[in-house]
Every structure is written in structure tokens, then in C-alpha cells.
Amino acid sequence: MDRHSNAEIATSSVAPTEDLKLLAEFIEQLPEAQPLSDCSLGFPVQYRGYRELLTDWLALESARFHKIGTSVAGEPLWMVEIGNPKAPNVSVAISGLHPIEWIGIETAYGLARLENKNPSENRKVCFFPLANPDGFRDVEANLRARKRRWVRSNRNGVDLNRNWPTHFRASRGLVAGHNASGPAACSEPEVAAIVDTLDEIAKHANLDIALSLHSIGNMILMPWGGVWKSPVAREQHMRVARTLKERLGPYTIRQVSRWVPGVSFAHGMEIDHLHQAYEATAILVECTRGEVDALRPSALLNPFRVFNPQNGRERGARIAKALEPFLRGEL
């Protein structure tokens, strides 16, 4: 990401229309595709594909759009703001770091719809709705071709939830593309663009709330992932996590590094950085249990089905409703 686009973000509240046009033009040149929910793909896919998703984001009339960079394969990366542009407090929601985890992406859209209807007056919410667009497009192409593939990384084979600066540790991962960190923190353009944007936001406002949306396990996760010790604001995280659990249902609360003692260290995670660099209360939600259907064991062989419930749009909207007060700073 170049410094010019940073400067644009700093002044974007004055002239936010430029990138709205850019997004509209970008969508216009994407090939028209039948909505996935209307396709016969072997199982119901009630999710938005790339063009449909961007079109629906674009239709949020309170939203301000910013192109913050480009992916490895050259896809635009977007940041979407809703709420008072000059608010002293900022919340951040990131989705799609792991590209097969579409329920997290639908949940982010659900949150944006809620914010759009009722924008905060004393807070700005910044969404990074599709952190890994190349991976997302690969997943969509696989679905349309009925290929059962698991996509975890970006086009460089890097897990974008191991590439953040805090507690970064270079690792190739156990299996190609699984937990591979990349050669250095922010080596990947997708993570670098988000971190640069957040750094810029944090110069002008108090970035105090951060939510990252993932897919599988019904979990509310808190920092740290990279070290054993407790997070700086453990009590605050626990309080938020317990309230979210009351709202979400049977979810498990964990500190990532203590999930499986000695085994579950995750270096270079987003929530560690969001908490360390900006002192945000940083929560990662694994949105659903995972669709492990005992009656249809064949679903287990389909990674998309394992990671995403069937009724994605409706589930995403429901989870969003439960998470909304946290994102609005009301917890």
C-alpha cells in the first residue's frame, strides 16, 4: 500500500465518494454470474458470491468505501466505514482472512446492515469485509466447478492469520498453506494494507474495539495466541466474552494460547496485534459449530460444508444481531 492512499483515508471523511465510484466500476466489470443460491451445486449454498457480495455492500447507503490496497493477484482490498466519520472512538471488524470461512463474511455483512440502519453518532465502525479476496474467489470457483477443495491461505500460500506483527514467528506451517506465516510480518499485501490503514486510523482516533470473524468451533477467543501469559486487559475481555456468550448461546470462551496447553500457540494472529498495537478489546469469534452432520457423513468430505452452515445468510444475520452491541461499544 502506498502512502498516498493513507493520506486519502485521513481526509476521506471529507470526500468519500471517490472510492464509491471505484467500487461501482469494479463490480460493473466483473462477469455476471448466477447467484450461488440459485445454482445446483450438489448441496444448497445460501451464500453470496464475489459479485453479489460486493454489490450488496455497495448498496449500504450509509457506508463510505475506501480502496486500501490490492491482493497478491491484483484484486482491490476495501475498507468500509459506517458511523460518524469524526467520532473519537473506532471499532474494527475483519472477516475473510481464512477464505473458506464464509459464515464469518456473511456475519460481517449482517453487522454492516445493522450499522447502516442505525449508524452510531459517537463511533465509527470500520469493516474489512473481504480480507482475502483471491482465496474467496478460489472458493467460489471451486463451488461452481463442484470441486471439494480446502482453501486456507492467500495466493502466496501464506495463512493471513499468522502474518501480523505482534508475536510473529516465521514458520512454514505443518502442511502447505496451513499456518504458514510468510517470510516476515506484513509480508503479504492483504495484511500490510489492513495494518497500514489501522495505524492511520489510530493516529486520529481511539481504536478500542476489534472483532475478527472466523468460522468453525462455536468459540469466543481472546488474546494472546502467541504467548502463554494473560492479555493486558484480561478482565475486560472476559467480561465481554461472557456477555457475548449469553447472547450467542453454547459457545466456549478461550485464550487462544491456552486452548490446548503447549500446543495451540498461534503466532502472528490478528487479535494479538489488535490488542497489543492499539490496546483494543480484541475478540475472535468462531461463528458456528461447523456443519458436521451425522446423518450425512459425506458432508465431512466437503470442506465448504464442514466450515459453513447451510443457511448462511440467515445464520450470519442472526449472529450479527448477537454481536452488534459489542461492535457499537455498548458492552
Binding site for Zn ion (CB under 5 A): 98, 101, 214
Across the beta sheet with 281-288, the strand order is 64-70, 76-83, 123-128, 89-95, 206-216, 281-288, 219-222, 252-255
Give the nearer residue to Zn ion in terms of CB position, either 98 or 328: 98
CB of 168 to Zn ion, least distance (A): 17
User: Phi and psi (nearest 5°) for 42?
Assistant: 95, -20
Short-list 199, 144, 286, CA closest to 5:
199
CB atoms within 10 A of CB 29: 6
Give the nearer residue to Zn ion in terms of CB position, either 120 or 166: 166
Short-list 286, 287, 282, CA closest to 234:
282
- The helix/strand/coil state of 57 is helix
Give the nearer residue to Zn ion in terms of CB position, either 104 or 231: 104
CB of 161 to Zn ion, least distance (A): 6
Give the nearer residue to Zn ion in terms of CB position, either 214 or 275: 214
Sign of the torsion angle spanned by Cα atoms 313, 319, 322, 328: negative
Contact at 8 Å (CB) between 220 and 251? yes
- The helix/strand/coil state of 175 is strand
CB of 101 to Zn ion, least distance (A): 5
Give the nearer residue to Zn ion in terms of CB position, either 140 or 286: 286
Give the nearer residue to Zn ion in terms of CB position, either 179 or 197: 179
CB of 281 to Zn ion, least distance (A): 20
Pairing of strands 206-216, 219-222: unpaired
Give the nearer residue to Zn ion in terms of CB position, either 36 or 221: 221
CB of 215 to Zn ion, least distance (A): 6
CB of 287 to Zn ion, least distance (A): 10
Instruction: Return the H-helix or E-strand segment holding 19.
Output: helix 17-28
CB of 307 to Zn ion, least distance (A): 8
Single-letter amino acid, residue 331: L
